[in-house]
Amino acid sequence: MNWLRLIFAVISISIFLYLIIQTSRFGKELKKATNDDRSISKRFVSKWDRKFSREVILIIIGSIFGILSIFLSHSGENQMDDKIMEMPFPELYSNLAVAPLYIIQLILCIGYLIFTRNEKGCILLIGKIYSLFIVVNYIIALYFRIFH
């Protein structure tokens, strides 16, 4: 199980690193595509419209791999499975607050919210809702970690 957790973690981190690189490419291409009247060329919009839908799917896939890695890290042996099954929900949920992959995902989601705060669109709205979900989950996990 440990090798599977490691593979999921590497896949998740690789996907998020790829998305960070794509974000920097987007900024450079946006500066090049901006016209003198502050409008954007139609070619640029159509190109990045396709890429954004792919990136949202990659965010979801990376998050799934990250969450699977977190859950697999807590279930090493049968004794550990029994221990997890006997843990109360607040204690189990509070483990999310110290999980390294979830913290990396949280940082990336906060960055996504900061970089796209002035943008509009359905695809970006889905990413913003997902990012807010991750942030709220982390706040709840911190609450359980501190007060339970």
- Give DSSP secondary structure letters for 78-147: HHHHHHHHHS-HHHHHHGGGG-HHHHHHHHHHHHHHHHTTT---HHHHHHHHHHHHHHHHHHHHHHHHHH
How far from the centroid of its chain's Cα atoms is residue 40's Cα?
28
Q: Measure the CA–CA gap between 30 and 22, rounded to whole angstroms.
A: 12
If you average pLDDT over each of 48-52, 69-73, 131-135, which comes out highest? 131-135
Q: Say what the pLDDT of residue 3 is.
A: 75
If you average pLDDT over each of 78-82, 133-137, 142-146, which comes out highest? 133-137
Q: Say what the pLDDT of residue 133 is.
A: 93
Average pLDDT, the chain: 79
Checking if the pLDDT of 138 tops 60, the result is: yes
- Give, as one character, the DSSP assignment of residue 77: S
Collapse the DSSP code of 74 into the 3-class scheme (helix H, G, I; strand E, B; otherwise coil) and give the result. coil
Checking if the pLDDT of 35 tops 90, the result is: no
pLDDT tens by residue, 74-133: 655 545 556 666 777 777 778 888 888 888 889 988 988 888 888 777 777 888 898 999
Phi-psi region of 36 (alpha: psi -120 to 50; beta: other; left: phi over 0): alpha
